[in-house]
Chains A and B, each alone.
Chain A
């Protein structure tokens, strides 16, 4: 018998590229991701580049672990609730799922092929800081402030009362 999930507050800033925020119970969640990630030192893209069929990575079977032992599983839940005061997520992207509730079967798969195309080998060897590192690898800056700062401007998370 599964427990009831109790969440008081949930904040999500961005849900992109076939992602889901789900409140409720579910039977099967099977997200699939295929991505060709191209990072270029000069960001010029034709707009129609990339064909998944050209790379065997996206077709190869992924071996699954076998069930060699029969397991008789019994579960006793002393509390009927799973309780969380607050969930804050900045972003969900590319077949991601944020679920409050139970799901019986989760079968997730992600296949990503990366390309890095540099113009020259002249990459700074001793970057000045986080910004220089990000520029060198053409990464996006991480937006962490809205997740890690309290609205009331305190120094850190207060001792919240997690009673539902």
Chain B
């Protein structure tokens, strides 16, 4: 496949963003390869009602 791109001119007045978060990018510039991956897991079993059970702490190795 042959692909030809002609960039004319890009001029932007103002960019306003509230937040850039969790491995996101706001880029003013050129790039060649962009790969973005996201896993967001909020399954039904992760919503609990009742006495709050704390999450297990990191178990120490010894």
Q: How far is the CB of B40 from chain A (nearest CB, A)?
A: 5
Contacts A42-B52, A82-B29; A57 near B7 (Cβ below 8 A) = no
In whole angstroms, what is the CA distance A25 to B31 when docked?
10
| Count of chain A residues with a beta carbon within 8 Å of a chain B beta carbon | 91
In whole angstroms, what is the CA distance A78 to B36 when docked?
29
Q: Which 10 A-B pairs have the closest CB atoms?
A: A114-B42, A31-B23, A102-B29, A49-B55, A2-B30, A79-B9, A96-B20, A110-B23, A102-B30, A48-B57
Which B3-62 residues have C-beta < 8 A from chain A? 3-42, 46-59
* Chain B residues engaging chain A, CB cutoff 8 angstroms: 1-42, 46-59
Which A71-105 residues have C-beta < 8 A from chain B? 71-79, 81-105
The proximity string for A residues 17-51 relative to B, scoring 1 for CB distances below 8 Å and 0 otherwise, is: 00100000100010111011010111011101111
B5 touches A74 (CB 8 A): yes
Instruction: Kindly report which residue of chain A lies nearest to residue B9, judged by CB atoms.
Output: A79
